[in-house]
Amino acid sequence: MKKIKINQISKENNKYKVFIDSDHKYYFTSEKKAVKFQNEVNQYLTESLFQLNDLYIDLFTVYRRVYFVVENSLLKRSLDQALNNINHFIENSLLRSNYQSIGSSLVMTSINQIYDNLLNGYQTVRSITSKKNDTSMIYHVNNKIKILTVLFMEFEKFQLDLSKNDLENIQVKIIKIA
């Protein structure tokens, strides 16, 4: 199974430093706490990526359903670009998480880019289906946009919690949306 593996722990001045990205470096009094925190972050990022991948699969499926009714080539190109970007960012997130010092920051950036491209893709599909008055597809797409919004809010909260630096007490929570 592919997963995010951020593994930047170093020892500085009797403290263990976990490097998440250039803005987020965390220090722990014991290696055990640092490893535990790192594992929780890896699990959270991997779960987030899997959830986004599920939404990507759905977006691609919806796109193929409306493919033959897309008359506006600009909408089609916009949707094609969003799908290509999502695929690129998912692949890069998995590959770059193993890079040395910058890998984890690339993962966080990629996840934000995936959210943006998914939202753009779903909004484009919504405009296509709205013009065709496909009510069931409109409801389906609106539901996926709501799920995406909740996941994005949770990811922003995760980033905010990381910024608070109260890491001895932080608990990474994973929302599972079926």
Q: Which residues contact 41 (CB under 8 A, 6 or more apart)?
A: 6, 18, 20, 162, 172
pLDDT tens digits, residue range 47-81?
888 898 899 899 889 888 887 777 767 777 888 88
End-to-end CA distance of the chain: 20
The answer to whether residue 25 is domain-embedded is no
The answer to whether residue 141 is domain-embedded is yes
The answer to whether residue 4 is domain-embedded is no
Listed residue (17, 4, 34) closest to 168, CA to CA? 34
Q: How far apart are CA 6 and CA 27, in angstroms?
A: 15
The answer to whether residue 150 is domain-embedded is yes
- pLDDT beyond 90 at 162: no
The answer to whether residue 54 is domain-embedded is yes
The CA-based angle 138-140-146, given to 5 degrees, is: 100
Cβ pair 115, 137 in contact under 8 A? no
pLDDT mean over 160-167: 67
The answer to whether residue 26 is domain-embedded is no
Cβ pair 113, 93 in contact under 8 A? no
Q: What is the CATH number of the domain that holds 91?
A: 1.20.140
The answer to whether residue 21 is domain-embedded is no
Residue 178: pLDDT band (50, 70, 90) is: very low
Total domain count, the chain? 1
Domain extent, residue 106, equals 35-164
pLDDT, residue 166, reads 52
The answer to whether residue 124 is domain-embedded is yes
More confident residue, 28 or 2: 28
pLDDT tens digits, residue range 84-133?
888 887 777 766 665 545 555 667 777 888 898 889 889 888 888 888 88
Radius of gyration for the chain, computed over Cα atoms and rounded to the nearest angstrom: 19
pTM score, whole prediction: 0.77
